Amino acid sequence: MGAGMQTVIEPAEEPAVGSTSQHRSPCCSLYHHAVELVGKRWTGAILLVLMDGPLRFCEIRELVPDVSDRLLSERLKELEAEDVVARRVYDETPVRVEYSLTPKGQALKPALTALKSWSHTYC
């Protein structure tokens, strides 16, 4: 190219109206269900403290101090129903109950760890 000559870049062809979504995957209901489950108030915190091993109800409450007993119980029941948390009752006096992550719950570790790291960087 000589002095004073400019390179002209032609604009990309505009996609037809509505065609943008043709190249993207739709948000599936399974993804939405997973985000809603983990994103419920206190659920992420409960899962984080259980990542290090089984805990009793009172220990979870200590590690997630702002959660009420009622809400903690509700979240643990929801997570148990989803097979993310297991509840184990020991036949002792007094009865001892521990909560732990199931293999399905353990599979959330990379996502929870990444979210925790992201929060430390950006929040």
Global pTM value: 0.77
Helix (H, G, I), strand (E, B) or coil at 29: helix
| φ, ψ (nearest 5 deg) of residue 87 | -110, 125
Contact at 8 Å (CB) between 42 and 67? Answer: yes
Domains of the chain: 30-122 (1.10.10.10)
Residue 78: other Cβ atoms inside 10 A: 15
pLDDT given at position 72: 98
pLDDT tens by residue, the chain, 123 residues: 555 566 666 665 555 555 566 778 877 888 888 999 999 999 999 999 999 999 999 999 999 999 999 999 999 999 999 999 999 999 999 999 999 999 999 999 999 999 999 999 999
Q: Which helix (H) or strand (E) holds 74?
A: helix 69-81
Contact at 8 Å (CB) between 99 and 60? Answer: yes
